[in-house]
Amino acid sequence: MSGEPRVGTAMKIAFLASEAVPFVKSGGLADVAGALPKAMAARGHEVIVILPKYQMINSEHWRLEPFINPLGVWMGDGEEWCSTTTCPVGNVRYYFIESNKYFDRHGIYHDAEFEDYRDNARRFGFFTRAALQLCRDSGFAADIIHAHDWQTALAPAYLKVWHWDDPVIGRAASVLTIHNIAHQGKYDRADYEHLGLHWHNFTADRFEDFGGINMLKGGIYFADMVTTVSPTYADETRGEVGGNGLGEVLCNKGDRYWGILNGADYDHWDPAIDPLIPRQYRPRAKTGKRICKRALQERLGLEPAADIPLIGVVGRFVDQKGFDLLAESIEWIIGSMRVQIAILGAGEKELEWTFGPLPGRHPGRIGSYIGYNEELAHWIEAGADFLLMPSRFEPCGLNQLYSLKYGTLPIVRATGGLNDTVIQYDERTGEGTGFKFLLPTAQAVYDTVGWAVSTYYDRPKHMKKMIAAAMAEDFSWNRSAAAYEHAYAKAIEIRRSGA
């Protein structure tokens, strides 16, 4: 249609997310919700981001200013009230939905005992409706409402159930991005009426799931376009296993479901400018990386030897990440290879209890830090020779993108975004940017680590060639933002055709 936004035309885009850096983060969603809006604004679009105002977001630190107060939000059979605040970060304006009832709590999604808040469906249903109301009351006539994961997956439904003819946001097209399909927002049907989605939408192809609510499922149904964070993950999630019960729902979207690879924020992850690492370095000047390796060895109590390969491990100790496979194989690796391992992470207590004592049993060979330390994460990316990511599934993954930029070759399972971003080493030619394995087993981890270690010792020219190729890769957000522009244009075409 004439007069509609096209690729290359400035759009008005509202991002709805439950977390975003630099304000609040529990996982990769926050990185994307912080970086993608910035990239879209840099490409000339008018971008806003709407977040819940959690207890941990300090109003004074961020100089939050009052916006629309009060803001009325219709939920169930009554109206609820909240306040809103705002601040700019670069070319992006952020808005915050403030509600003591829903967000003045210790955690984002769960309490200190890691138990999900029982009213999460109502919390994020309220947030999503409030975010759309903010757009409406402020006059932000968005071309695109971009929702993320189950927490804001109701936005496409609300647009079509409540705002189809609204003069401000009624023409907005919806895009829903799935960051991890294992988390779907499944809650008791007792909350459904409060969400205000009408009982005729409580069906097996929309919101109903074994008698309860599935917020992501309904969002997929109503969204004009659905994306996920890598092409391989899009393929995997269409299957019965990879889709976690939603494979058929995604297949039904047809060409309205795309895999768009996440980008890396090189403003924060680039060894040439990284302020957190011991010495900055560039691809053709590797002295800095050697200094970073020595500093990392000293910090974690490892033998300060330049000629021993150092494998880094950074991540959450959960089943998805496959660190139980490393726990099963790590003693075998240390017992049969001349190698060092630096571990940073936290999560399942059994894995914490496994990895925590290892430096005492293998002094100089294994270093571990149980918890999270942003500076140490940067040190490991800069100082290690390899980064191990043995994930059972990985929608996109970001650490392997950082590793490539730092000349730290990834050792990964060929799944999701790991498969899309790491080029398998060719032992005949020295081509490639890392080492990949297929089976999620301890044996496969051991064998592939052994392959990487033997390459380090026996084929140093290949190592040098691979490191140069890895550091030359470009996974900047600008490339990903261009792909999202195409998704937005298609969503607008679908929305305005009434399809």
User: Does residue 486 belong to any structural domain of this protein?
Assistant: yes
User: Does residue 109 belong to any structural domain of this protein?
Assistant: yes
The answer on whether 25 is annotated among ligand-binding residues is yes
Predicted confidence pLDDT, tens digits, the chain (499 residues): 334 455 668 999 999 999 999 999 988 899 999 999 999 999 999 999 999 999 999 999 999 999 999 999 999 889 999 999 999 999 999 999 999 999 999 999 998 777 899 999 999 999 999 999 999 999 999 999 999 999 999 999 999 998 888 999 999 999 999 999 999 999 999 999 999 999 999 999 999 999 999 999 999 999 999 999 999 999 999 998 899 999 999 999 999 999 999 999 898 899 999 999 999 999 988 799 999 999 999 999 999 999 999 999 999 898 899 999 999 999 999 999 999 999 999 989 999 999 999 999 999 999 999 998 999 999 999 999 999 999 999 999 999 999 999 999 999 999 999 999 999 999 999 999 999 999 999 999 999 999 999 999 999 999 999 999 999 999 999 999 999 999 999 999 999 887 6
Are 54 and 93 contained in the same domain?
yes
Are 77 and 102 contained in the same domain?
yes
Nearest to 178 by CA among 124, 108, 225: 225
Q: Which domain holds residue 155?
A: 12-263+478-497
CATH number (domain holding residue 153) = 3.40.50.2000
User: Does residue 281 belong to any structural domain of this protein?
Assistant: no
User: Does residue 231 belong to any structural domain of this protein?
Assistant: yes
Q: Whole-model pTM?
A: 0.92
User: Does residue 122 belong to any structural domain of this protein?
Assistant: yes
The answer to whether the beta carbons of residues 325 and 308 sit under 8 Å apart is no
Given CA atoms 228, 234, 239, 241 in this order, what sign does their dihedral have? negative
User: Does residue 279 belong to any structural domain of this protein?
Assistant: no
The tally of CA atoms less than 13 A away on the side-chain side of residue 448 is 28
Are 299 and 214 contained in the same domain?
no
pLDDT at 499: 65
How far is it, in rounded angstroms, from Cα 175 to Cα 220?
A: 9
Are 28 and 163 contained in the same domain?
yes
- What's the structural domain count of the chain? 2
pLDDT at 188: 95
How far is it, in rounded angstroms, from Cα 321 to Cα 191?
A: 32
The token pair that represents 25 in the structure block: 């983060």
pLDDT at 7: 61
pLDDT at 424: 98
Task: Kindly state the DSSP code that residue 423 receives in the 8-state scheme.
Answer: P
User: Does residue 328 belong to any structural domain of this protein?
Assistant: yes
pLDDT at 286: 78
Helix (H) or strand (E) segment spanning residue 410: strand 409-413
Are 46 and 32 contained in the same domain?
yes
Are 456 and 400 contained in the same domain?
yes
User: In 339-363, which positions are buried (b, 16+ CB within 10 angstroms) versus exposed (e)?
Assistant: bbbbbbbbbbeebbebbeebbeebe
Residues, the chain: 499
pLDDT at 284: 85
Are 229 and 162 contained in the same domain?
yes
User: Does residue 4 belong to any structural domain of this protein?
Assistant: no
Are 249 and 304 contained in the same domain?
no
How far is it, in rounded angstroms, from Cα 279 to Cα 374?
A: 16
Are 469 and 492 contained in the same domain?
no
Are 163 and 306 contained in the same domain?
no
C-alpha distances in angstroms, 159 versus 6, 133, 178, 319? 21, 11, 18, 36
pLDDT at 165: 85
Task: Kindly state the DSSP code that residue 117 receives in the 8-state scheme.
Answer: P
Are 254 and 311 contained in the same domain?
no
How far is it, in rounded angstroms, from Cα 361 to Cα 345?
A: 19
Nearest to 271 by CA among 389, 421, 423, 402: 402
Are 379 and 259 contained in the same domain?
no
